[in-house]
Amino acid sequence: MIASSSSRVWIAGVGMTTFGVHHELTNHDLARWAVRSALSDAGAELTSIDAAFFGTASHGFLERQVMVSGQIALRTMGFHSIPVYNVENACATGATALNLAVTQVRSGAADIALAVGAEKMHVGDPRRTMELFDTAYDVSDPAALLRTLKELGGEVDDEDVGRRSIFMDIYAALARNHMRLYGTTQAQLAAVAAKNHAHAADNARAHYRKSMTIADVLRARKLAHPLTVPMCAPVTDGAAAVVVCNDDGLRRLGAERPVQVLATVLGTGSDHDLTSFDAHITLRVAANAYERAGIGPDDVDVAEVHDATAFGELLQTELLGLVPRGEGGLAAWRGETTLGGRIPVNPSGGLESKGHPLAATGLGQVFELTEQLRGTAGSRQVPGARIALAENGGGFHLGEEAVASVIILGSR
């Protein structure tokens, strides 16, 4: 089901900084870098934009810009008089900004809208940065989180193996539960990580660009069993931006390589058995997105999924229907999700290697998939890609992500 011309929404331009450590740049510097790149890609001027949605999850906590971050970042680069909306939805902040921009355009309230996600995580205080992640679950009842992790992953008698965010313990507990249910192995998790590190080696915007073997991943420093450091996303600075428009806006811009937004769906969790993945948030959000786009999982040519850890990718490929339930690890081990495989996943290198600047992550996925659908991804190109999917999650609540996003894009 392709949208009628009156409700079609297009990605006219994308922009993205390099992801990594940018000591000399602020959150707003990074945002402006990405926005200028997206405007240039769309053939747009500052005055072309009717509305902007500015996402950041850490700026208030780490740099004390708690309010009006978007207005300050955008007005200082020349935007004025347009509505600017500030967005926060944990690691799904950028995807949420895009969802809102698409909704604004589809409603007719704007012809052209801008979605931005920017994060400055390296602020000279690593302990403070780690504390940020303790704000992405129910802080009124921290004991409930510990009970949930014990129910999911059992007791683990591990010595302290180094500084890490609480989300590495969350993913580790989920992984141990999956191992118990389906027989997933640590080596299969390492296959996911090795694949993504190999993909990122050819991505000039990636945080890490060093290939690793499965053996390299397995013998690396332990983080939280069964995870090792290369299986986990690094702390990253970066920004990404996307210009979206309707048919009228597309004619105004004259963008040469638009990509169609077939679906963008957000969801939250529901009551379910914590130790079962049968009612997971992604299942429901993905089903809605597939229905809106008029496609099924077998139609997807390439995907970017939320691999804050290797287990995150393994699980999401199953929940999205890209591989059979319980076989995410086997699929990676067999090379099915590698470039050249049956369904390439995270050709950018994913969060594990490209990096994870929280609010920029979802839009960074869209940047990669737009390049894939345009056929401009270079050595990472999936031949003939026509349908692309991005899955992005944020926060943690009652055994699953607090918010999930699925975006489906199609070539023109």
List, by residue number, the catalytic residues: 91, 356
What does DSSP say about strands 259-267 and 403-411: parallel, antiparallel, or unpaired?
Answer: antiparallel
3-state secondary structure (DSSP) of residue 52 = strand
Is the preceding omega at residue 234 within 30 degrees of 0, hence cis? Answer: no
What does DSSP say about strands 112-119 and 10-16: parallel, antiparallel, or unpaired?
Answer: unpaired
d(CA 19, CA 260) in angstroms, rounded, equals 26
d(CA 297, CA 319) in angstroms, rounded, equals 10
In contact, 208 and 234? CB cutoff 8 Å = yes
Q: How many C-beta atoms surround the C-beta of residue 342 within 10 A?
A: 12
d(CA 96, CA 242) in angstroms, rounded, equals 12
d(CA 385, CA 169) in angstroms, rounded, equals 36
3-state secondary structure (DSSP) of residue 260 = strand
Q: How many C-beta atoms surround the C-beta of residue 36 within 10 A?
A: 15
Residue 94 tokens read as 């950028």
d(CA 277, CA 30) in angstroms, rounded, equals 37
What does DSSP say about strands 227-228 and 403-411: parallel, antiparallel, or unpaired?
Answer: unpaired
Name beta bridge partners: 47.
none
Cα angle 85, 89, 90 (rounded to 5 degrees) comes to: 135
Question: What DSSP string describes 293-355?
Answer: HT--GGG--EEE---SBHHHHHHHHHHTTSS-TT-HHHHHHTTTTSTTSSS-B-TT-HHHHT-
Residue 140 tokens read as 């009124």
3-state secondary structure (DSSP) of residue 30 = helix
Residue 333 tokens read as 């081990």
